[in-house]
Chain A
Amino acid sequence: MKKTLFEKVWDSHVVSSIKNGPDILYIDKHLIHEVTSPQAFKVLEEKNIPLFRPNQVVATADHNVPTENQHLPIQDALSRKQVSQLTKNCEAHGVNLFGLGHSFQGIVHVIGPELGVTQPGMTLVCGDSHTSTHGAFGTIAFGIGTSQVAQVFASQCVLVDKPKSMRIVIAGKLHPAVEPKDVVLYVIAKLGTDAGTGYFVEFAGNVFEEMSMEGRMTVCNMSIEMGARGGMIAPDQTTFDYVSGREFAPKGEALEAKIAHWKSLSTDDGAAFDAEHHFDAADIRPMITYGTNPGMGIKIADKIPSSDDASFVKSLEYMGLEADTYLLDMPISHVFIGSCTNSRIEDFRAAAAHIKGKQKSPDVAALIVPGSQQVAKQIVAEGLDEIFESAGFKLRQPGCSACLAMNDDKIPSGAYCVSTSNRNFEGRQGQGARTLLASPVTAAAAAVAGKIVDVSQA
Chain B
Amino acid sequence: MVPLRVENVDTDQIIPARFLKATDRKGFGENLFRDWRFTSDGQIKKDFALNQSQYKGAILVAGNNFGCGSSREHAAWALGDYGFRVVISSFFADIFKGNALNNGILPIQVSPENLQCIFAAIDQYPSVIAIVDIENQKLLIDAAGIALTFEINNYKKMCLINGYDDIDYLIIQKEAIEAFEQKRA
Contact = CB atoms under 8 A, between A and B. Distances in A.
The finding on whether chains A and B are genuine partners in a shared complex, rather than unrelated, reads yes
Interface stretch (B131-139, B142-150, B167-175): B167-175
A425 B184 CA distance: 42
B49 interface: no
B18 A406 contact: yes
Task: Report the contact-size class of chain A (Cβ under 8 Å from the partner).
Answer: 35 or more
Interface residues of B, number: 54
Interface in A304-354: 309-311, 314
Interface in A401-458: 404-406, 413, 423, 425-428, 431-432
A250 B25 CA distance: 39
A314 to B, nearest CB: 7
Contacts of A143: 71, 95
B65 interface: yes
B54 interface: no
B65 A145 contact: no
Contacts of A217: none
Contacts of B171: 49, 154-155
A229 B69 contact: no
B40 A38 contact: no
Interface in B80-126: 91-95, 98-99, 102-103
Interface in A43-70: 43, 47, 49, 52, 63-64
Given A128-B71, A145-B73, A155 B170 contact: yes
Given A21-B156, A145-B76, A157 B170 contact: yes
Interface string A211-237: 000000000000010010100000000
Interface stretch (A76-84, A265-273, A390-398): A76-84
Nearest to B158: A21
A413 B24 contact: no
Contacts of A431: 16, 35, 40
Interface stretch (A109-117, A192-200, A251-259, A362-370): A192-200
A38, A64, A404: residue with the most chain B Cβ atoms closer than 10 Å: A404
B94 to A, nearest CB: 6
A198 B63 CA distance: 18
B8 A293 contact: yes
Given A38-B24, A194-B93, A431-B35, A426 B12 contact: yes
A238 to B, nearest CB: 27
A193 B8 contact: yes
Contact of A311 (B6, B69, B155, B184): B6
Contacts of B6: 310-311, 314
Nearest to A410: B18
B5 A193 contact: no
B29 to A, nearest CB: 15
Interface of A: 15-16, 18-22, 24, 26, 35-36, 38-39, 42-43, 47, 49, 52, 63-64, 76, 78-79, 81-82, 85, 127-129, 143-148, 150-151, 154-157, 159-161, 163, 193-194, 197-198, 224, 227, 229, 293, 309-311, 314, 404-406, 413, 423, 425-428, 431-432
Given A42-B25, A147-B99, A425-B10, 5 more contacts: A22-B155, A26-B184, A63-B17, A229-B94, A423-B12
13 contacts: A20-B154, A21-B153, A76-B21, A128-B70, A129-B95, A148-B98, A156-B181, A193-B68, A197-B92, A310-B6, A406-B20, A423-B70, A431-B40
